[in-house]
């Protein structure tokens, strides 16, 4: 049982999907390591095709070369996000320390602190529970690459720390351990600890001092996307995807695809595939004026746990368990929304309601996505309901 190994060509990043294949549940529990934003649709399709339920979206570190999709995956799949405690990824729902264990079904991965590429970097060890003779597997991020290692010249990197992490922490794993790296630039896919001990061009046969000297002489160019990627990744990728499309009070551009030019254009932002994005207050005003139907597309479980909007139509886009598509969405939506009214789609944070709005538009409705959703984005303590959102903005809601 190896992981599903996925590749992002633009950044040469490997993403891994680990599945509990012993599970008799359907969908089966899974965990993803280092997902890439540009591959979100691919990764959602893989989860669907393999009938997987994503429990965790996990980072090895705050990447400098691409933006994570962890925040988006959490919204679309119901997964929780986890990241090393010392990487500044404050939006993650779980911050990992050395030795912490994450479970998905009956499977477990253990976090190993392997600093050096960045101070917070971690590797993750997977020992299959049902077969103790199967080789241990380790996901090394940018700490140990096949025949190489990550750079140490930015983002709190340290060549001495990296040497220790590779030779004392990772090389303490059994020689048969399968190594799954965070990148490869030559088409290699996996290695073993034994092979890296003897053949790794950066580390094998080198002393600490020799390694530090070598790393100091690399003179690599600055990663192209570092200034954009690191801050975005410290918000689980959400800043690059959602915050940038949020309102900008100085933005007087005319929305591109508005269907009704008589409406209050200031409150509508252009959108691709549906009528536009609107803020929660505008949604409330249109709904109260009788122009629109408000549809809460969160799961039944979310409404029960977090709270609901009295009077909103409740039509889930996806449902627990496993965030599977609600097969009744189309029919229920068409039954709830008269043709002459707009439909306003509310989810948790304004992400899941985007595909729901696109689908509503395909069904012939004038559909708007409500930015920020019911709960808004997580704050620096990974808590919601304090950064925007229907509830935080004082609009009516109730708790069961
Ligand atoms: Fe990296």
Which DSSP symbol is given to 3? P
pLDDT computed for residue 226 by the predictor: 92
What is the distance in A from the centroid of ligand 1 to the CA of 14?
11
Q: Is 205 inside a domain boundary?
A: yes
pLDDT computed for residue 266 by the predictor: 65
Q: Is 383 inside a domain boundary?
A: no
Judgement on whether residues 268 and 189 belong to the same structural domain of the protein: no
Number of structural domains found in the chain? 2
Judgement on whether residues 48 and 183 belong to the same structural domain of the protein: yes
Dist CA 40 CA 35 (whole Å): 8
Dist CA 71 CA 75 (whole Å): 6
Residue 51 structure tokens: 């009938």
Instruction: Give φ, ψ of 154 to 5 degrees.
Output: -155, 175
pLDDT computed for residue 255 by the predictor: 34
What is the distance in A from the centroid of ligand 1 to the CA of 322?
30
CB atoms within 10 A of CB 5: 12
Q: Which domain holds residue 39?
A: 4-238
Judgement on whether residues 200 and 327 belong to the same structural domain of the protein: no
What is the distance in A from the centroid of ligand 1 to the CA of 182?
8
Q: Is 385 inside a domain boundary?
A: no
Q: Is 394 inside a domain boundary?
A: no
As to burial, measured by CB atoms within 10 angstroms (0-12 exposed, 13-18 middle, 19+ buried), residue 307 is middle
What is the distance in A from the centroid of ligand 1 to the CA of 23?
33
Q: Is 231 inside a domain boundary?
A: yes
What is the distance in A from the centroid of ligand 1 to the CA of 8?
14
CATH number for the domain that contains residue 353: 3.40.250.10
Please, what are the averages of pLDDT over each run of 10 residues along the chain (400 residues)? 95 97 93 97 95 96 96 93 96 96 97 98 91 91 98 94 98 98 97 98 97 96 91 81 35 34 64 94 97 97 94 95 90 97 96 96 97 91 89 94
Judgement on whether residues 187 and 252 belong to the same structural domain of the protein: no
pTM for this entry: 0.84
- Spatial CA neighbour of 269 closest among 354, 178, 183, 180: 354
Dist CA 382 CA 378 (whole Å): 5
Judgement on whether residues 230 and 301 belong to the same structural domain of the protein: no
Judgement on whether residues 37 and 143 belong to the same structural domain of the protein: yes
CATH number for the domain that contains residue 186: 3.60.15.10
Q: Is 278 inside a domain boundary?
A: yes
pLDDT tens, residue by residue, 227-238: 999 999 999 988
Judgement on whether residues 31 and 169 belong to the same structural domain of the protein: yes
Asked whether the bond before 276 is cis by omega within 30 degrees of 0, the reply is: no
Q: Is 196 inside a domain boundary?
A: yes
What is the distance in A from the centroid of ligand 1 to the CA of 65?
7
């Amino acid at each position: 049982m190896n992981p599903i190994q996925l590749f992002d060509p633009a950044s040469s990043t490997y993403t891994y999907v680990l599945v509990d294949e012993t599970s008799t549940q359907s969908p089966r529990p899974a965990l993803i390591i280092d997902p890439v934003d540009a591959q979100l649709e691919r990764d959602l399709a893989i989860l669907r095709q393999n009938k997987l339920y994503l429990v965790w979206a996990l980072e090895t570190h705050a990447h400098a070369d691409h933006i994570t999709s962890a925040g988006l995956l959490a919204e679309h799949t119901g997964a929780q996000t986890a990241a090393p405690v010392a990487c500044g990824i404050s939006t993650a729902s779980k911050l990992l320390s050395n030795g912490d264990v994450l479970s998905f079904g009956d499977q477990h991965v253990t976090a190993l602190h392997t600093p050096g590429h960045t101070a917070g970097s971690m590797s993750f060890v997977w020992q299959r529970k049902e077969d103790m003779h199967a080789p241990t597997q380790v996901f090394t991020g940018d700490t140990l690459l096949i025949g190489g290692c990550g750079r140490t010249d930015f983002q709190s990197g340290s060549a001495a720390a990296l040497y220790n992490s590779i030779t004392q922490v990772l090389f303490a794993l059994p020689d048969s351990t399968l190594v799954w790296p965070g990148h490869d630039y030559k088409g290699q896919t996996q290695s073993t600890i034994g092979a890296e001990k003897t053949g790794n061009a950066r580390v094998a046969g080198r002393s600490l001092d020799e390694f530090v000297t070598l790393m100091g002489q690399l003179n690599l160019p600055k990663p192209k996307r570092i200034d954009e990627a690191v801050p975005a990744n410290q918000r689980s990728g959400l800043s690059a995807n959602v915050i940038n499309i949020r309102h900008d009070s100085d933005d007087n551009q005319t929305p591109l695809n508005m269907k009704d030019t008589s409406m209050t254009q200031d409150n509508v932002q252009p959108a691709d595939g549906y009528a536009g994005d609107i803020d929660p207050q505008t949604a409330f005003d249109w709904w109260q004026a009788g122009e629109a139907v408000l549809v809460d597309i969160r799961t039944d479980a979310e409404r029960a746990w977090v709270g609901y909007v009295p009077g909103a139509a409740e039509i889930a886009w996806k449902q627990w368990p496993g965030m599977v598509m609600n097969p009744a969405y189309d029919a229920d939506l068409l039954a709830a929304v008269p043709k002459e009214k707009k439909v306003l789609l509310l989810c948790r944070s304004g992400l899941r309601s985007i595909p729901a709005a696109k689908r509503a538009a395909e069904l012939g409705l004038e559909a708007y996505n409500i930015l920020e959703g019911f709960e808004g984005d997580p704050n620096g303590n990974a808590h919601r309901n304090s950064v925007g959102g229907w509830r935080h903005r004082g609009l009516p809601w109730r708790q069961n």
